[in-house]
Amino acid sequence: MKNYGGHILAVNTSVQDLSAIYRDQFTVFNHVTYMNTCSQGALADRVRASFDTYLQTLELKGSAWGDWAGHQENVRGLLAKFFNVASAEIAVTTSASAAVSSLASSFDYTQKRNKIVTTENEFPTIGQIWHAQERRGAKVVHVASKPDLTVDVAAVINAIDDETLIVSVTMVCFRNGAMTELEPIIEAAHKKGALVLVDAYQGTGAVPIDLSTLKTDFLVSGNLKYMLGAPGVGFMFARESTTKHLVPINTGWFAARDIFAMDIHAYDPATDARRFEAGTPAIPALYPAAAGLEIMLEVGMQNIYDYVAPLHDELRAGIEAMGGTVVTPSSRLNHGAMLAVASTDENAHVAALEGEKVVTSCRDGNIRVSPHFYNNREDVEKVLAAFAKHKSFLRK
């Protein structure tokens, strides 16, 4: 058993068949073989019902601000429980981008420490937000990835110096599924006095993350993928002990110490992570975010990880057996739930698979296949059969 990046990556051999328990709560499987959680989680009946609850509140009460403020706090509390930290360390935002923009606005890039060390595996929004800070004096350094597409941890560590303000690193790459070894990077950054932001959007809900042991200063993600929610809710963990000195310039009244003070003559932000929030929360998306989180907590993150790992391995073995190339690193320490298959024509390939009622997605020349706890071996077989039928798209 290895504690790696704050998550326990030992795979349990006596795995519970989670799909047998939960799959019938996901109606989409009556229609298609859904293996596209890296893009959007499948809709659970309970998540669907939560949208109805939102609409019913409007129908019954007209407006329901009282309920709604409580909903933001409910999601904050569930996220805190999910990551094993205090609610005060969670900002609930409208996207991961909104959280990172707010964070980026809290730095003074005219100081000597103005360097942002990042990687080639980042999601576009991360690179774009950091490069936007160049106009304010920031210097952005991208560290090249290794030939196996993983982040070059040694090279990242090498790039961190006394001028490094923050190291911004992805946990699981959205293009190829490569997972980064985070702990040595965090340790090296802290030794040099730099902060760390982890973009864990492709990791949260797929790989266990305990933020009481993974010592990153910030972690950003959102609820719509493996966490089963809907677009409109992102979040950021901000470790109180290392980040409370940072006060964002990008702000709004929901980030104020007292939201209902209605003061237009001063900026008095919350002192906890809520200071990274902004305006009216995306209320309709908070309902499904909470419902999805409740399911995730019920199923259990370690159970999900243990259950999905063999499905991932079987998909990989099947693709390779038919002559395809899986570009996702094979070591369990270096990938999340998603595997990426090299394709000669990614869009046509996705469409061909969809014609077989197999739903996947593509990025950067690869087909992304992303099993979750509601998928089963039959799904794996259907996915592989569809890939076999359209073998001509497989890039060697």
Residue number, 234 or 248, with CB nearest to ligand PLP: 234
- Quote the least distance from Cβ 234 to ligand PLP, whole Å: 4
Residue number, 40 or 84, with CB nearest to ligand PLP: 40
- Quote the least distance from Cβ 77 to ligand PLP, whole Å: 21
3-state secondary structure 187-236: HHHHHCCCEEEEECCCCCCCCCCCCCCCCCCEEEEECCCCCCCCCCCEEE
Residue number, 286 or 380, with CB nearest to ligand PLP: 286
How many whole angstroms separate alpha carbon 370 and alpha carbon 177?
A: 9
How many whole angstroms separate alpha carbon 253 and alpha carbon 6?
A: 34
Binding interface with ligand PLP (CB under 6 A):
95-97, 123, 125, 170, 174, 199, 201-202, 222, 234
Residue that the structure tokens 């809520």 belong to: 274
Handedness of CA 384, 390, 395, 396 (dihedral sign): positive
- Quote the least distance from Cβ 174 to ligand PLP, whole Å: 4
Residue number, 277 or 306, with CB nearest to ligand PLP: 277
How many whole angstroms separate alpha carbon 263 and alpha carbon 77?
A: 27
- Quote the least distance from Cβ 129 to ligand PLP, whole Å: 9
Q: Under a CB-based contact definition with an 8 Å cutoff, are residues 152 and 143 in contact?
A: yes
Q: How many helices (H) and strands (E) does the chain have?
A: 12, 14
Residue number, 19 or 366, with CB nearest to ligand PLP: 366
Query: 39-67 burial, b if ≥16 CB within 10 A, otherwise e?
Result: bbbbbbebbeebbeebeebeeeeeebeee
- Quote the least distance from Cβ 273 to ligand PLP, whole Å: 17
- Quote the least distance from Cβ 271 to ligand PLP, whole Å: 25
Residue number, 177 or 324, with CB nearest to ligand PLP: 177
Q: Give the pair of three-digit tokens for residue 106.
A: 């809290």
